[in-house]
Structure 1
Amino acid sequence: MNADRPRTGRFFWLPVLVLALVFLTANQLYATQLRDETPESAPEAPSISLDFVVNGLFAPVAVTHAGDERLFVVEQPGVIQIVQNGVLLGTPFLDINDRVAFGGEMGLLGLVFAPDYATSGAFYVNYTFFDGSSLHTRIARYHVTANPNVASRTEETVLIIQQDATNHNGGDMHFGPDGYLYIGMGDGGNQNDPLGHAQDGASLKGKILRIDVTGQATYAIPPDNPYVNNPDVLDEIWAFGLRNPWRWSFDRGTGAMWIGDVGQGSWEEVNYVPYGSSGRNYGWNCFEGTHVFPLAGPLCSPGINHTPPIHEYSHSVGHAITGGYVYRGTEYPRMGGYYFFADFSFSKLWTLNWNGTGWHLTEYSPSIVNPSSFGEGVNGELYLLSHNGSLFEITETNGNAGLTPRVYLPLVTTP
């Protein structure tokens, strides 16, 4: 998330937006040969719309499901709401506002249900809190009560990480296809990663972490984590070199990971992680996007081995990427294989797809006010949150003759 994002209150934002696709003219190529990492090709981009679901949410930052048709929406101050059959229920699923440090980028930032939630009733949250004057991130386990729409407030702490500043907290968490919990951690702020966390193997910040929480009081280290037994790198680390992976996801069709990493002053980026790969370095703070960062830290070197993003865009286009999902639902087959993502600050919405030779970017306009997060329903349908309080479903349309496509120049340098 961007440090300058304002707090927003409840208000009603009712228009249902019908979007027209805008094509970018050049292939967006990976900076290295893809070989066996080449993703599947997607068909021609569809026309889409945003169908209004509910409003009246307060600073929503995440939406997910628990294995059924309900949608669970995370409100940044510390509340989880339920949307059922298109209605916002009157009683929260969980309210831990009294435990959460909220403001700016701080708050209740992530929610994920255990793969065995139907039997264990366990779910995990990611939030910031103050212990005295020190800010921390807490990963905690909670359980549902006998009422499926109400959780117990009893908390089990899994992991605590001290923060250096009130921004770049990360927040997103997902269980991977392997059953392990992956946690996105920002570099701890403030600007430029002054303490060099993202490239430091002794820090959990600026990383993707991978831990085993199933059947554990806290957590265990998966034996195949890439840096196990490396004395210079903490065992929890799965990937290096991220500034603030605010929103990222797994492709439920391929197992690949897609990371939207919020940039510093010039570039936003999308990182593509093929299923089965690990131990990669995504460059920050040696690079911002594909560009050498002028204030690179002491752990950077000209020949540092890193994986560049598949897509970047400059701050003339947007200031704070909101990573999304690859559509794998069944209702709109022409959307299949497209990665949806957005920009919070400039309120833009795009898709990326691989056409067999390169990455193609499609921009949809007009867009949505302050898109803060995407989410999947139980059947793979996609949802989009406005931080101003509304939830939308992304659907396919037959197009709108009143909206004229425009052509843009490429935003990513090809090799």
Structure 2
Amino acid sequence: MDKFSSVFVSLGIVAVSLIAGYLAGDILHTLIRLVLPLPSVELSTGNLVTTGIYVLSASLVIFTALAFFRPAPLFASAERAATQVYAWGAAWGAGSLALFLLSSSVFPHQLLVGAFAIGVALFGLGYAALGKDSDVAGRSNFTGRLGAFAKALFGLLRKPLAWLAILITLAPLGAAAAYVKSQEFRDAVAEFRVRQNVSVDGDWITVPVNTKTQLLQPIMIRMEPGASNRMLVLERAGRLYRIGYPDDGTKELLVDFSAQVGEVNLENGAMGFDFDPRYTQEDGSARFVYLYFTSYTADAQTNYLARFDLAAGSAQDILASQQNLIAVGRPPSQYHNGGHVEFGPDDMLYLSLGEMDMPDKQQTIDTTLTGGVLRIDVMQQGGAISRPIARQPQNGTTQGYYIPLDNPFADNGDALGEFFAIGLRNPFRFAFDKSTGNIWAGDVGSTVWEEVNLIAAGNNYQFPFVEGREPTDVARPGTVIGKETGPVYTYRHTAYDRSIIGGLVYRGSRWPSLEGKYIFGDNYSGKFWAIPATGEQVETVETLGQADKYAQRGFTSIIQAPDDRILITVMGSSNSPNGAIVELVRKDGGAGSSIGGGGEAAAAAQVAMTEKEIHESFVTNCARCHGEQGRGDGPDAEMLTKALGAAPTNFLSADFANRPRPLIRQALVGGGAAVGMSEAMPPWAGVLEDEEIDALTDYVIGLREGSDGPAPE
């Protein structure tokens, strides 16, 4: 009976500790921040219940095992009570680590740290009050037994099992430290958690577009004006390239400003760009591109909006043409930079800026340019349209543009006239609806809510005193600037839905089912969603599908190409050129198709594919994993091998030669899962036509046989 009573009493202490840690969460977070810069987590009863399930389950297993090895009552001796503390540490560490890696719940670090400390104290106080070994000298009173308990804790350090318990206890703390310090570790954890917790049953998948050109963390793409066969790709480190569309293997460096960007980590680097409205003028006098990027060192950070002249000549000449329009200093925390640049139908440049980790500047428009959307006239039209800059930010300089006279705060002499909308936390991407002119933005939230906002002149989106549709603990300003406006859609954080990427309103004929819908997603989980672009508040979304990389390796921008295809940048690793441009397509084919073929555009009578077309289809759809020669050495092969423990198939291997044709074709049709292999191999049914699948089946067989094309019949 003593065994079970020890277990039940110990579980009761753990339960009380969890509740106390929950109630003291805010105080504990303040103390934790002195050691680790972890973000604040808004605790809820849901957090408490989920944490309780993991920690109490681990505690039940470990306490029960200990009770059978040490059957003495819990408070029979100081050593017995101290042993239970080590068991509690191991249970806490195991439960916390499992919660961190496996749960969809946001990790409640303050609750857990508080519960651990309170649990240790309760075990010690319990022995001091209820200890039975009063016959031992010095342990006949509360204070004496408390001292004996402390002595026993240190005495147990002579035993190897105590050190094993300590290592298990420290495991989640080590993981938390690595999570703060290492972007690669954060990305790996994100990918693991998403794979464990997210199962997206959507009708859409992504297929590769840049099958011939390697990219290192592409963060944004745009089609080059006046050239439907070319696009520009901005890499996060600070390089702008021109590549072919569809990808033809060409990659021309236009400008390299990576030396100015400096260290790229967290939310830093090159963020966005757009072309001057006069870019296509025949005289080439305005081949300007406007780039927004951060310049970071450990001691300082400056965020720039810069103009480069792509007609200047070589990459060095283009770099020399740089003109900084906005240069704003900020704390070097690397968070909340915002980062989207887009010209509107009015030919004005719109720029979204995060609050840049400057809480004292939130809800202000008179000191610096943060926390909103700016609107400026880079063509400096003057007259009845715009006027010169009248006021400089306190922490930076501005030049080379005018203030539009119809900006909402242009007439306020105490305001920076650039502001178009305010009260945003970190609006990373926005887009104009080509049909209505409405501006749709995704605003990355703090620790609870993500928002889709309809941006309009003079609106105030209420950060930080309201997030989502709920007031926060931040005091409401005495006077609220502008018109208070709530989100069109908002969703609560989980461990993986936590970083919204604003998308676009689809207006095109290729995908009729998406017409008039706002498409957006979450960088962390890789999910894509759609809502009606009516501007009316909505509570539910249509789940489209999921990208194959997550967190800061995940997708970062969405555009609609001139041929109405939906193209997406997926960043990939920071140390390997496995970034991607992918296309969002329906699994069942439907209207539209991947660049490889199919859909309504291919509804005419089918003709036999040429060997060149089959080779291009293989390169387009298969080479990123299997390599252009089919050796299993594509640019994504290393990442897949590390993540899944198995390399992509080498079509030239002896093992592959033994596989029958029907099995190979079924893998193409249904994906790896259909033939008992890796789910990383996607199903191509509905994306590729039957004829193309047949041709690719023969092609990969032909690779093993030494052919450059389909195997002979």
TM-score category by the smaller chain?
0.7 to 0.9
Residue 325 of structure 1 and its aligned partner are, at CA, apart by 0.6
Aligned with residue 237 of structure 2, among 55, 77, 88: 77
Q: Which residue of 2 aligns with 1:253?
A: 435
Deviation at 1:81, TM superposition (A): 2.2
203, 206, 209: which one aligns with 1:50: 206
**Partner of residue 75, structure 2:** none
CA distance in 1, matches of 2:298, 2:536: 54
How far has the Cα of 1:196 moved from its partner?
A: 3.8
CA distance in 2, matches of 1:310, 1:169: 23
Aligned-partner SS, 2:541 = strand
1:393 maps to a residue whose letter is: E
Question: Which secondary structure does the structure 2 equivalent of 1:392 belong to?
Answer: strand
Structure 1 SS opposite 2:437? coil
Q: Which residue of 2 aligns with 1:361?
A: 541
- Cα distance in structure 1, aligned partners of 2:201 and 2:409: 43
Which runs of 5 or more residues in structure 1 are unaligned? 9-18, 23-46, 404-415
Q: Are the structure 2 counterparts of residues 72 and 278 from structure 1 closer, same or farther at C-alpha, using a change threshold of 3 Å? A: same
From 374, 379, 382, the counterpart of 2:558: 374
* Residue in 1 that maps onto 2:278: 116
Give structure 2 stretches of 5+ with no counterpart: 1-38, 40-178, 186-198, 382-398, 573-578, 591-668, 672-713
Distance in 2 (CA, whole Å) between partners of 1:357 and 1:113 is 31
> Which secondary structure state, in structure 1, belongs to the residue aligned with residue 484 of structure 2?
coil
TM-score using structure 1 length = 0.78
What code does the residue aligned with 2:233 have?
V
Q: Does 1:136 align with 2:302?
A: yes
Name the amino acid aligned to 2:276: A
Pair 1:127-2:287 in alignment: no
Identity of aligned residues (%): 28
| Counterpart secondary structure, 1:140 | strand
Aligned residues of 1:173 and 1:181 also touching (Cα < 8 A)? yes
Matches within 5 A, 1:217-366: 218-273=400-455, 277-294=456-473, 296-297=474-475, 299=477, 305-316=483-494, 318-353=497-532, 359=538, 360-366=540-546
- 1:60 is matched with 218
SS of the residue aligned with 1:378?
coil
Asked if the contact 2:279/2:287 (under 8 Å) is kept, the reply is: yes
Cα shift at 1:59: 1.5
Name the SS for the 2:404 alignment partner.
Answer: coil
Instruction: Report the equivalent of 1:92.
Output: 253
Q: Residues 257, 355 of structure 1: CA spacing in aligned structure 2 closer, same or farther, 3 A cutoff?
A: closer
Identify if the C-alpha distance between structure 1 residues 341 and 203 changes in structure 2 by more than 3 Å, giving closer, same or farther. Answer: same
Instruction: Say whether the 8 Å CA contact 1:289–1:308 is kept in structure 2.
Output: yes
Does structure 1 conserve the Cα–Cα contact (< 8 Å) formed by 2:459 and 2:482? no
Counting matched residue pairs gives: 361
Q: 1:155 aligns with which of 294, 311, 322?
A: 322
2: CA distance between counterparts of 1:357 and 1:157?
Answer: 39
In terms of mean alpha carbon deviation, does 211-220 or 62-71 score higher? 211-220
Listed one character per residue, the Cα deviations across residues 25-84 of structure 1 (whole Å, up to 9, x for unaligned) are: xxxxxxxxxxxxxxxxxxxxxx43322101632122111122122121111100112231
Tell me the alpha carbon deviations over residues 360-402 of structure 1, each in whole angstroms, 9 at most, x when there is no partner.
5111234331122212323443211112111112234536998
| Structure-1 residue corresponding to 2:344 | 176
Task: Give the residue type in structure 1 aligned to 2:562.
Answer: V
Cα displacement string for residues 309-331 of structure 1 (whole angstroms, at most 9, x for unaligned residues):
01111112611101111112332
- Shift of residue 247 of structure 1? 1.1
Q: Cα distance 1:77–1:256, how it changes in 2: closer, same or farther (>3 A)?
A: same
Change (3 A) 1:302 1:197: closer
Shift of 1:212: 0.4
After TM superposition, the score normalised by the length of structure 2 is 0.47
Report SS of the residue matched to 1:195. Answer: helix
Pair 302,142 (structure 1): closer, same or farther in 2 beyond 3 Å: closer
CA contact (8 A) 1:139 1:157 kept: yes
Q: Name the CA shift for 1:89/1:95 in 2 (closer, same or farther; >3 Å).
A: farther
The 1:163–1:297 alpha-carbon spacing in structure 2 relative to 1, beyond 3 Å, is: farther
Residue deviations 1:256-309 (CA, integer Å, cap 9, x gap): 101100000001010023xxx410001100111111112x15626799951100
Residues 197-216 of structure 1 aligned to structure 2 (within 5 Å): 197-215=362-380
CA distance in 1, matches of 2:367, 2:287: 34
Which amino acid in 2 is paired with 1:334? S
For residues 522 and 589 of structure 2, what CA distance do their matches in structure 1 show?
23
Residue 12 (structure 1) aligns with: none
Aligned match of 2:583: 393
**Distance in 2 separating the partners of 1:302 and 1:221:** 23
More helix by share: 2
| Contact 1:81-1:89 within 8 A present in 2 as well | no
Q: Which amino acid aligns with 2:404?
A: P
Q: Secondary structure at the match of 2:490?
A: strand
Q: Secondary structure at the match of 2:427?
A: coil
Aligned with 1:284: secondary structure? Answer: coil
C-alpha displacement of 1:134? 2.5
Contact 1:144 1:150 in 2 (8 A): no
Change (3 A) 1:214 1:58: same
Cα distance between partner residues in 2 of 1:174 and 1:354: 19
Which of 183, 187, 208 is 1:6 aligned to? 183
Indicate how the Cα distance of structure 1 residues 130 and 358 shifts in structure 2: closer, same or farther if over 3 A, else same: closer
Moved more, 357-366 or 334-343: 357-366
Structure with greater contact order relative to length (CA < 8 Å, sep ≥ 6): 1
Q: Is the 8 A contact 2:268 2:296 kept in 1?
A: no
The separation in 2 between residues aligned to 1:170 and 1:387, in whole angstroms, is 17
- What's the secondary structure of 2:303's corresponding residue? strand
Deviations 1:345-367 (A, max 9, x none): 12211111158986451112343
Distance 1:156 1:58 in 2: 26
Distance in 2 between residues matched to 1:241 and 1:253, nearest whole Å: 26
1:145 aligns with 2:311: yes
- Which deviates more from structure 2 when the two are superposed, residues 80-89 or residues 314-323? 80-89
Larger mean Cα displacement after TM superposition, 388-397 or 252-261: 388-397
Give the number of the structure whose residues are more often strand, by fraction: 1
Whether the aligned pair in 1 keeps the contact of 2:422 and 2:458 (CA below 8 Å) is yes
Rounded to whole Å, the distance in 2 between the matches of 1:176 and 1:302 is 27
Task: Confirm or deny: 8 A CA contact 1:122 1:142 kept in the other structure.
Answer: yes
Distance (Å, rounded) in 1 between the aligned partners of 2:310 and 2:493: 42
